[in-house]
């Protein structure tokens, strides 16, 4: 009986330790611009960005984020937010974050990603996403 109690106690302890682990992997998913997964040719000059997080474990919440928006995929990959780098923002909000970078121009390509930091200090970057700006001023229209 004592042997069985030791085994059950050890098993319960391992279970508790695994539940409280702070190394829970997180994934940034469901990135949208103005509520859409793809936003080609928009006339919105300050689009709203959103994302969701998923992870292994319970009670995982976002405690901070950083958005980077770049004019090329290469700049984005290098972590150069030449259009906008929000810096680390301590906020749990992941819905409708308004673009607050450089003024966008007609036909601008915008590549973006977001880093999420969780309440247990895990962090991860999203995959790259993209939106593009259409014609913003009718005087730029060139047709024959």
pLDDT per residue as tens digits for the range 80-129:
999 999 999 999 999 999 999 999 999 999 999 999 999 988 999 999 99
Q: Is there a contact between 103 and 133 (Cβ–Cβ < 8 Å)?
A: no
Does 74 have pLDDT greater than 60? yes
15 in helix, strand or coil?
A: helix
Q: Which pLDDT does position 38 carry in this prediction?
A: 86
1 pLDDT tier (thresholds 50, 70, 90): low
- The larger pLDDT score, comparing residue 44 to residue 137, is at 44
Report the alpha-carbon distance of residue 120 to residue 22 in Å, rounded.
Answer: 6
- Residue 130: CB partners within 8 Å, gap ≥ 6? 38, 109, 110, 111, 112
Give me the chain's average pLDDT, please.
86
* Of 108, 118, 128, the residue nearest 55 (C-alpha): 118
- Residue 113: CB partners within 8 Å, gap ≥ 6? 67, 68, 76, 125, 126, 127, 128, 129
What are the C-alpha distances in Å from 91 to residues 3, 7, 32, 61, 77?
A: 49, 43, 18, 10, 24
Does 23 have pLDDT greater than 60? no
pTM: 0.79
Share of the chain above pLDDT 70, in %: 81
13 pLDDT tier (thresholds 50, 70, 90): very low
């Amino acid at each position: 009986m004592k042997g069985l109690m030791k085994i059950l106690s050890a098993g319960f302890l391992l279970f508790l330790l695994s539940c409280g682990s702070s190394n829970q992997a997180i994934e940034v998913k469901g990135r949208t611009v103005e509520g859409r997964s793809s936003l080609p040719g928009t006339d919105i000059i300050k689009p709203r960005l959103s994302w969701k997080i998923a992870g292994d474990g319970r009670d995982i919440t976002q405690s901070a984020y950083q958005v980077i928006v770049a004019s090329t995929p290469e700049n984005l990959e290098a972590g150069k937010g030449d259009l906008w780098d929000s810096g680390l923002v301590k906020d749990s909000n992941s819905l409708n974050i308004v673009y607050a970078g450089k003024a966008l121009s007609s036909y601008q390509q915008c590549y973006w990603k977001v880093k999420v930091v969780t309440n247990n200090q895990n962090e991860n970057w999203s995959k790259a996403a993209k939106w593009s700006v259409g014609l913003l001023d009718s005087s730029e229209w060139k047709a024959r």
